[in-house]
Structure 1
């Protein structure tokens, strides 16, 4: 290969690496949305669980009593 061809190929590879595809495809958006919904539902179930409610109620009660340990 000539030097000119090598330079053109290297420039094209660098441009592809720097700019990429420019965004996600529809399938990637779908997978990302499903993952976000799964994480949100897991977080919701943890936050609304009894242990969290009890811990928050205890924290508020201690704060109202003057913060004693």
Structure 2
């Protein structure tokens, strides 16, 4: 048995995969945060809520 890792060993791969998935999720959350807090989105949501809450007489 060799003391050096070979290409066939997968020890630690799950940890690396979880780390990459966590980084990807954090990056996606950051992008979505920037989009949702954008001026156009905030203005659109505000207009939508104001229209929904307005009472026509």
Residue number in structure 1 paired with 2:39: 50
After the TM superposition, list the runs of 4 or more consecutive aligned residues in structure 1 that deviate by more than 4 angstroms: none
Q: Normalization by structure 2: what TM-score?
A: 0.67
Q: Normalization by structure 1: what TM-score?
A: 0.57
- The CA RMSD measured in Å over matched residues stands at 2.1
Residue number in structure 2 paired with 1:33: 22
Higher-RCO chain (CA-CA 8 Å, sequence separation at least 6): 2
Q: What runs of 5+ residues in structure 2 fail to find an aligned partner?
A: 1-12
Q: Of Structure 1 and Structure 2, which has the larger fraction of its residues in helix?
A: 1
Q: What runs of 5+ residues in structure 1 fail to find an aligned partner?
A: 1-23
